[in-house]
Amino acid sequence: MPRPPSAMRRQILDAALRLFAEHGFKGASLHDIAVEARCSKASLLYHFAGKDAILTELLTPPAESLSAMREELGALTGDQAAESAVAVYVGLAMRFQLEIKIIFAELPDMLGHPVLAVIPQAVDELADALAGRSRDPGARVMAQMVIGGVAVTVAAAVDVAPDTMRAELVRGALRTLGRPTR
């Protein structure tokens, strides 16, 4: 479990998150992060062993949240599974918008990162819940469309207020799944 970040660690993490999202993990240097965080490179290296350590700390909360989502959705079936999966997934996507953008920018490399080892099974379980536990091919395809559509939409940084974005993502996901919208 990572320790609570100091103010300087938080500045470094926030700077790295912005730069990784904008330029990719490979495109942002430690120097760039230090400049953005308004600290020296030595100070940055005092707090983190390197870029990979920063990335690990940034990606740990989304990975832990995916694990928690799997537990939350595990016992649900049918419409309850699908509707809960939409709400939980959209919430996570909105909360970790920049992290998703980083992962999508360098997907093949990112999926090999040890912190993200939870992703393939979590996505499979999310798809199963979104499909209402149905084995129907149409329901399975629609579930994958929701997973991809939500992730791509939040990574695209659409200029919409967060509350509106969340509501429209939930509504669109439910509609894609053929579920009633509220």
Does residue 182 belong to any structural domain of this protein? Answer: no
The yes-or-no verdict on residue 182 having pLDDT over 90 is: no
Does residue 1 belong to any structural domain of this protein? Answer: no
pLDDT in tens, 31-44: 999 999 999 999 99
Structural domain boundaries, residue 119: 7-176
Distance, in Å, from the CA atom of 92 to the CA atom of 59, rounded to the nearest integer, reads 13
Does residue 51 belong to any structural domain of this protein? Answer: yes
Average pLDDT value for residue range 35-55: 96
Distance, in Å, from the CA atom of 110 to the CA atom of 107, rounded to the nearest integer, reads 5
Does residue 164 belong to any structural domain of this protein? Answer: yes
pLDDT (0 to 100) of residue 181 = 75
pLDDT in tens, 123-172: 899 999 999 999 999 999 999 999 999 998 988 878 999 999 999 999 99
Distances (CA, A) of 76 to 69, 71, 80, 122, 180: 12, 10, 6, 15, 18
pLDDT (0 to 100) of residue 2 = 47
Does residue 44 belong to any structural domain of this protein? Answer: yes
CATH number for position 166 = 1.10.357.10
pLDDT in tens, 85-131: 999 999 999 999 999 888 877 777 777 788 888 888 888 999 999 99
Distances (CA, A) of 177 to 55, 86, 125, 129, 170: 34, 9, 16, 11, 11
Number of domains in the chain: 1
Does residue 16 belong to any structural domain of this protein? Answer: yes
pLDDT (0 to 100) of residue 1 = 46
Does residue 2 belong to any structural domain of this protein? Answer: no
pLDDT in tens, 120-134: 888 899 999 999 999
This prediction has a pTM of 0.76
pLDDT (0 to 100) of residue 5 = 57
Does residue 120 belong to any structural domain of this protein? Answer: yes
How high does pLDDT run on average in the chain?
90
Do the beta carbons of residue 12 and residue 23 sit within 8 Å?
Answer: no
